[in-house]
Chain A
Amino acid sequence: MLDRAGYSLIAEKTFSDFRSAPPAKEDAWRYCVRVTSGTTGGQLIGAVLQYQAESVKRFSQLRAPVLCLGASATRLAYNLQARHGMPAESRSLVLDGADLNSELKVVLAQYAPDSILGFVSFVVRVAEYIDRETALGVRAIILSGECTTEAMESLLRDTFPNARITSRYIALEVGRISEVSCGFQPPNHYHPYKGVKVEIDSPDESGVGSILVSPSTRPEVIQYQLGDVGRLKSEPCPCGATEILEIMGRNGRDYVKLAGAIVRREECDRVMLSVALFDDYRLDTSHVILDGKLRGKLHLRVYRKDGQRSPDLGARIEKEFSRQLYLSPSRTLAELVRTGDFVPLSVTFADAPFPIKNKEIKILMVDA
């Protein structure tokens, strides 16, 4: 089994080889370099991603996509693949969070996208800034990189009635892991991609465990532990596939992306210590639609060793936790509640210490 640390070693070697011998000019477009933070915080891992004809093929039906992605390197990688995968005379538009303002409607109407690609939380936000006529022109929505919820999917279906909504399970390090969603399965259920062997490491009684992948194109990557948990079922699907991989979220819950913000466990731990009003917690994250707008919802379950609890204490925890918890580099939960991006935090008290399974999961996605 290959964990992230093991993967880093392989990635590092590839990266330093690449650095000392960059590709020939005509092959440059097949490569992206990026540097990501390692497992232990400070350490950085260099990675080289290589694209094959196969990876750019998914762009071959698109003529005017809008790309809605997070990190600059990811945006560039997608745009590069679009450039080389789309038919001649196609165009692409790469959006940034800062572009989401009142002028975006006009700009998108002029651009007239035929497709929208990217992270579902970003795509859902774009849906707020698109007029009906422009939305009707969108024929495809292609999601990746995050768990999709029923609430998100229904919002997208309403906004883009002519679009076929598909998603794929992709990991930055190893590329595609699933086939394009077939339409017969609920969100976050995928058929494994034929070029990838998917296994579940030490599944619990319900079959849930850490997802391991072995891509056939990368023989050095065997049983790579993605850091996601899920379950694999042998079950016939109307589309003809026989295996279903259900993604349940990240292992250990380092973070959850929610309504355009990121809920990080590290930050929650920090705030717990800072407010000093409880001894342990679990945070349930979900999306709700209120007045046609998708908003993040956090429910904090707290445990106190002394068993103390009261509505007043709950209110104090709610106030302090919201005031101190940063969900973006500059904005706290309290601020995001004010802007309507989140609904107010709710707090309940747990009767017993939280059970710890394989790995301690503190931040949960409850509407996946």
Chain B
Amino acid sequence: MNDTLHESLRVLINEVGSNQLADIYHTVWGERRALDVLPVISRDELFGSPLASRRYKSASSLVKIFHVGEKTFLSEWAYEDVAREQFGTETKRPMVYLSDNAESIEKSMWCYERGMVPLIGEVHNPAAAVAMAKKYQIDSLITDELSLERFRPFFGDCPYTLTSISIIGPQFTIARIQWVLPYAKEVRLVLTLPETGAFARAKLEVNPVFSPLPRCDIETVGETLVLTKQDSLVTPIIRYDTAISSKSVRIQNA
């Protein structure tokens, strides 16, 4: 981590530590403020706490429900922060086809925040999604592993190559998705969790190596990836335990 990054992070930590709106980090950190001594915070600690205790700023926002196993959590995202995310690429006719409703809405709103009019695919109706995509002549696709498989018939007789395909998710099974390579100029894997947004990216290849996205720091603690985002999000992500095994992805820190 270089000095400017370190400085902006120090500012963020101090702001979060003394924030008057919310207190979950203060509760977990106590008086500690140096990055190297801050404890790792888990999903249950951070997102299991009431929304009000982790709402660090008030802004026009989207509140998402996300499910992990049997548990249900809320994650609030300011549109200004959604806009800064790097889910896909900017094209004229993007399509969002994801297996989760709230994620579909958020990623579509990302398109709008970036000045694009997206086509949103119906989660449970792949045949319709494929037909819709053909009709709109989509030029890029934001999807996940499961939805990409369902969307496969689109590529059967697609007469053109997409500008980009962004596959988002917490992990990737390359053998299941590499068939898509010929169908887009660029196929990206974007490490993403509903509650953290995107944080690392790789080109789709047999052994992908992920680079952290700008303003994202990824550490390996024990055997899991721990993430810090330097943006002042509604719920900041500071030394957050992603629960993603460090063995499942290769991260190339700069």
Contacts and interface: CB of A to CB of B under 8 A. Distances in A.
B116 A111 contact: no
B21 to A, nearest CB: 12
Question: How many interface residues does chain B have, given as a range?
Answer: 35 or more
B104 interface: yes
B65 A80 contact: no
A31 interface: yes
A237 interface: no
A99 B112 CA distance: 25
Interface stretch (B6-14, B27-35, B53-61, B203-211): B53-61
A99 B64 CA distance: 11
A109 to B, nearest CB: 9
Contacts of B136: 19, 33, 35, 46
Contact of A76 (B59, B63, B120): B120
Nearest to B97: A72
A37 B132 CA distance: 10
B131 interface: yes
A72 B120 contact: yes
B60 A75 contact: no
A35 B135 contact: yes
Interface in B65-89: 65, 67, 71-74, 76, 79
A329 B124 contact: yes
A110 B50 contact: yes
Interface string A244-282: 000000000000000000000000000000000000000
A28 B72 contact: no
A88 interface: yes
A111 B63 contact: yes
Given A28-B112, A83-B60, A96-B102, A44 B120 contact: no
A111 to B, nearest CB: 6
Interface stretch (A100-108, A206-214, A349-357): A100-108
Interface string B96-118: 00000110110011011011111
A24 B50 CA distance: 40
Interface of B: 50-52, 58-65, 67, 71-74, 76, 79, 92-93, 101-102, 104-105, 108-109, 111-112, 114-124, 128, 131-132, 135-137
Interface of A: 15, 19, 22-26, 28-29, 31-35, 37, 44, 46, 71-73, 75-76, 79-80, 83, 86, 88-96, 98-99, 101, 103-104, 106-107, 110-111, 329
11 contacts: A44-B135, A71-B122, A75-B101, A79-B105, A88-B60, A91-B63, A93-B62, A94-B105, A95-B65, A103-B71, A110-B50
